Amino acid sequence: MSLLHLFLFVGLVSVKATASFSPGSRSILRDIGNAIADQKDYAVELNATNFDSVFRDTPAKYAVLEFFAHWCPACRNYKPHYEKVARLFNGPDAVHPGLVLMARVDCAVKMNVELCDKFSIKHYPMLFWAPPRMFVGGKWGPKLDKSEIIVMDDWRTADLLLSWINKQIGSSYGLDDQKFGNENLLTNIPDQEQISQALYDIEEATEEAFDIILSHKAIKSSETSTSFMRFLQLLVPHHPSRRCRKGSAEILVNFDDLCPSGECSYGQDSAVNNTLRNFHICGNDLPRGHYMFCRGSKNETRGFSCGLWIMMHSLSVRIEDGESQFAFTTICDFINNFFMCDECRQHFHDMCLSVKTPFKKARDIVLWLWSTHNKVNERLKKDEASLGTGDPKFPKMIWPPKQLCPSCYLSSTQKNIDWDHDEVYKFLKKYYGERLVSSYKKNSDGASKKEVVAAVEEMAVPANALVVPVGAALAIALASCAFGALACYWRTQQKNRKYYHNPHYLKRYNSNFIVMNTFGNNESEREKER
């Protein structure tokens, strides 16, 4: 009987093998190809489903798009050339990240046929160049006039393709460039335009913070649950990224189901929907694995901590007077519960406890966070100088430097700076507020007036409250067109809160507040402000 079973097993294996090697089967070609050349793909594979979203959300200023067919021998032979160039611009190990998105579409896949027709693809491969926004809902044809989408030529080898790109963007990149080459690093004293790239770092840091919380299963009590929920309430109306606001709202409206009694489910089972891991706070394509504005000259410097600081600054300048105390306690408690660098967490916690007077104005939290950041930089600067652990290209410094805000300085010596806090506040509001958004739109290569207006409206939070049932709130969170109503709802809720969620929280921070005349405002100046 066992011999019979053996024959049956051998026969079954033979049938399966024959099927997998059948003529017309593409899988065997792919298997052989993978075995011969186990190469990592850097170009982003697009299809009709993700095409618009990838181009809409990319931080890149330019894009190269290849249309090909997987059965085309010329396309297969060209792929290694295309990937050599894509290695420079795409992925977490990109040498020059955030400049050029290199993507490809397989026109031999049935779902992509209509997409390829929109770009009048008549032969393979065919390459296009344009700002990413032009590909969103875009099309190309030989008879279209004044199209910003350009059909590329001189791309037959990796050298020719990179040379073509260099001419377009005025660069001199080479195929042998290695990661952390100095020519693409931002300066330690950034100009006013460089802050535009920080929007992508804020998204990256937000998603990375969420991933850290998940990986450490850090929400494990009513206290940590409350802390996380309050932070979401701060992000929903005030995060500078629209998709992070939307993602935060989706988690918030589902939070009671995800974390009943403060005990969250962290499972990764795709069949289970009520786990935190099924949510992405800033979208499915994050984290990207690299930073732009916060990119250091070494792997272990800047990055996440820099992005987290910028996120907190950008939140602080977007709140209103009645929300300053809520924002302060929320940020303090979030860092205390979820920032995993223990010494840094404790230092920040101590600075929160040093506060003596409740914050009443939006200006208070903005200046306190700025002052706290400078104190952290001063402390770390000494440690890094003595241990040699700092970033040589980005040494810690007091901020803002005179080059960015000369009016912020009343006087300065080597040891002391006399700040004009009114000017500092104006600078911070503009730098982390309107400039962060307007520069981003400006860098999108001539966005139309309609797009700029839409961006401004996107950053605004409605003034009128709207009470939304939970079921409707979930629908709103999923529907981008109605997102402002949901953000307004949560914003109104947090304004009217009496901080009853966690009595221990109140005891921790509300009994100790900083004396606000630290910022140099005398009583007469305060009366004028009122």
Active site residues: 72, 75
Main-chain phi, psi angles of 105, to 5 degrees: -130, 130
Task: Give CA–CA dist 24/405, Å, rounded.
Answer: 67
Q: How far is CA 33 from CA 26, 67, 81, 128, 158, in A?
A: 11, 20, 16, 27, 20
* Residue indicated by tokens 């931080």: 59
Q: Which two tokens stand for residue 52?
A: 């618009």
The residues with which 44 forms a beta bridge, in sequence order, are 103
Query: What is the pairing mode between strands 100-106 and 62-68?
Result: parallel
Neighbours of 67 (CB within 10 A): 23
Could you tell me if 494 and 231 are in contact, meaning their C-beta atoms sit under 8 angstroms apart? no
Measured in Å, how far apart are the chain's first and last C-alpha atoms? 95
Task: Give CA–CA dist 441/456, Å, rounded.
Answer: 10
Neighbours of 480 (CB within 10 A): 12
Q: 5-44: buried (b, 16+ CB within 10 Å) or exposed (e) per residue?
A: eeeeeeeeeeeeeeeeeeeeeeeeeeeeeeeeeeeeebbb
